[in-house]
Structure 1
Amino acid sequence: MHYRGLLYRALNPVWAREPLSGEGARRFGGRFNPKGTPALYTALSIMTAIREANQIGTLQPTTLVAYHADLTPIFDATEAQALRDHGLDPEDLAADDWRIRMREDGKAPTQRLAERLIREGYAGMQVRSFAKGATAADLNMVLWTWADGLTFVDDEGRLA
């Protein structure tokens, strides 16, 4: 699929000056990127971005940013058959044990999916949010390649 529109991230203020880096995800790994693979975890709505960034405990200091996106190809993980064609079911994406699997097996199944999609040339993946309080309508866009299709919105140079 082709995605054109706004995307949002709620960043830890430590990373706010580098909203296009993907460095935190590269260092630690995430549900949809193994350690060593940079990724930007973005959301299609502001509220989803805030839910994603504050999943543990009470709301912590957060810097909300927006991007203009024009990205292709994007794998649509909300399509169950497309996901099954890549060896996973929707329930596999929601598994809470991905961190344990990453530690015990080296990579979680969702990280292996990301590696396959990257090899196939996907820039990213649209996937539902699994943050507390999220519904099927809350969507994320996980990006592995974004240099040519993502523009950070900071018209007034506030993070410069």
Structure 2
Amino acid sequence: MPEAGPLTLWRAFVPRWAHLPLSGEGAARFGGRWNPPGLPAIYAARELSTAWAEYNQGFVQHPAMIAQLELSDADLADLTDAAVLEELGVAEAIHRCQWRDAMERGLVPETHELMRRLLAEERGLVPETHELMRRLLAEERGLVPETHELMRRLLAEGRHGVVYPSIMSPGGTCVALWRWNDTAAPRLAVIDPEHRLPKTPASWL
């Protein structure tokens, strides 16, 4: 269901991209838990501490740019709610999905590309031929992570993203957003009242 009011989020990302705080191209390049390569996505957290923990993934503490975001009018599937998981027919174990392993075992760009087309289709619907092609490619070339399959379903229902529990910060919650700041999409803004973020890479100089 759409959020009742603006949602405050925190995003930690590589300082080099400080001039693009609302870009999802990094996730599109490598893929993530809730998006295949080729599909832009914003990953953020409900809590500042969670954003930091997710950014570092429990390893070396890297330098980061941290921005506060405000998300409005988003229809997010709250996967931290057991009732929502039950309604979707999804087990709680999806939060422990080994999505990296599934991708490494053969998930191919063609399959991801077809998922990405969901964003371009009106109301998130995909022609039956696209769906058949996606299934055949997945069967022939490799496995689709369970989280990516659920992402496809939710996009088809018109959802903009998901709320899910943090693995790196127990008790924390994260948001993966697939659509923002385009037609009929939620509004995502960065909180920068004094305009301290650079506008271009050259702004650092």
TM (norm. structure 1) is: 0.90
Residue in 2 that maps onto 1:115? 152
Whether 1:125 and 2:162 are equivalent positions in the alignment is yes
For 2:53 and 2:78, locate their aligned partners in 1 and report how far apart those are by CA, in whole Å.
Answer: 21
- List per-residue Cα deviations over 1:65-94 (Å, max 9, x = no partner): 011111321111112242244342111222
For 2:85 and 2:103, locate their aligned partners in 1 and report how far apart those are by CA, in whole Å.
Answer: 20
| Coordinate RMSD, CA, aligned | 1.5
For 1:27 and 1:59, locate their aligned partners in 2 and report how far apart those are by CA, in whole Å.
Answer: 22
Residue in 1 that maps onto 2:179? 145
Matches within 5 A, 1:19-34: 19-34=21-36
Query: Counterpart of 1:142 in 2: which secondary structure?
Result: strand
Amino acid at match of 2:195: G
Q: Is the 8 A contact 1:33 1:115 kept in 2?
A: no
Residue in 2 that maps onto 1:155? 193
TM (norm. structure 2) is: 0.71
For 2:62 and 2:17, locate their aligned partners in 1 and report how far apart those are by CA, in whole Å.
Answer: 14
For 2:74 and 2:67, locate their aligned partners in 1 and report how far apart those are by CA, in whole Å.
Answer: 21
Question: Aligned pair in 2 of structure 1 residues 102, 85: CA closer, same or farther (>3 Å)?
Answer: farther
Tell me which protein shows more strand as a share of its residues. Answer: 1
Q: Is the 8 A contact 1:71 1:146 kept in 2?
A: no
For 1:63 and 1:104, locate their aligned partners in 2 and report how far apart those are by CA, in whole Å.
Answer: 32
Residue in 1 that maps onto 2:110? none
Residue in 2 that maps onto 1:51? 53
Matches within 5 A, 1:86-101: 86-95=88-97, 97-101=98-102
Whether 1:2 and 2:40 are equivalent positions in the alignment is no
Which protein is bigger by CA-based radius of gyration? Answer: 2
For 1:149 and 1:54, locate their aligned partners in 2 and report how far apart those are by CA, in whole Å.
Answer: 27
Q: Is the 8 A contact 1:10 1:65 kept in 2?
A: yes
For 2:160 and 2:153, locate their aligned partners in 1 and report how far apart those are by CA, in whole Å.
Answer: 12
For 2:190 and 2:60, locate their aligned partners in 1 and report how far apart those are by CA, in whole Å.
Answer: 27
Consecutive unaligned residues of structure 1, counting only runs of 5 or more, are none
- List per-residue Cα deviations over 1:16-68 (Å, max 9, x = no partner): 21111100111111001111111000100100000010014221000110111
Identity %: 36
Amino acid at match of 1:139: T
Query: Counterpart of 1:6 in 2: which secondary structure?
Result: strand
Query: Counterpart of 1:127 in 2: which secondary structure?
Result: strand
